[in-house]
Amino acid sequence: MKQLILVFLGGGTGSILRYLISKTFNSSIHNFYLGTFLVNVIGCFLIGFIIGLSAKNDLLTQNQALLLTTGFCGGFTTFSSFALEQQTFLKNGDFLNFTVYTTTSILLGIMAVVFGFWLSKSF
C-alpha cells in the first residue's frame, strides 16, 4: 500500500508540473507542441540521472526511486499526448512537423537518458 501511495503522490506532482509546462509552451509555439516535447526530454534526462545516481551510490531507497521514477517521471512525461499530437499533424497533412517532432522526440529522449546516466557518474 505504501508503494501505491508513493506512485500516486509522485505521479500527481509530475502531472501538475507537466500540465503547467504544456499549457505555457504549447500555446506559444504555432504548429509545434514544445511543452510536450520539453517534458518528455526533461523526463528522459531525469529518469536516466535518478537511476544512474541511485545505482552508483545507493543514494536512494527503493521507495524513493519508485516515487521519483515510476511516480514523478511517469506522471511528468506523456506518451499519450505525444501520440495525440502526432495524429493532429497527420490529420492536418503536416507531414514535415510530424517527421521532425517524431524524430527529435525519440532521438533526444534517448540521448537525454544516456546523458542523465553519464552525468550521474560525476556525483
Query: What's 94's DSSP letter?
Result: -
Phi, psi angle pair for 87, to nearest 5°: -60, -35
Please give the grid coordinates belonging to residue 109.
529522449
Q: Please check if 74 is assigned to a binding site.
A: yes
Task: Provide the residue count of the chain.
Answer: 123
SS3 assignment, position 54: helix
**Which has the closest alpha carbon to 89: 102, 78, 80, 79?**
102
The secondary element (H helix, E strand) that includes residue 87 is: helix 79-91
Phi, psi angle pair for 7, to nearest 5°: -65, -40
Q: Please check if 35 is assigned to a binding site.
A: no
Q: Annotated binding site for Na(+), which residues?
A: 74, 77
Q: Annotated binding site, which residues?
A: 74, 77
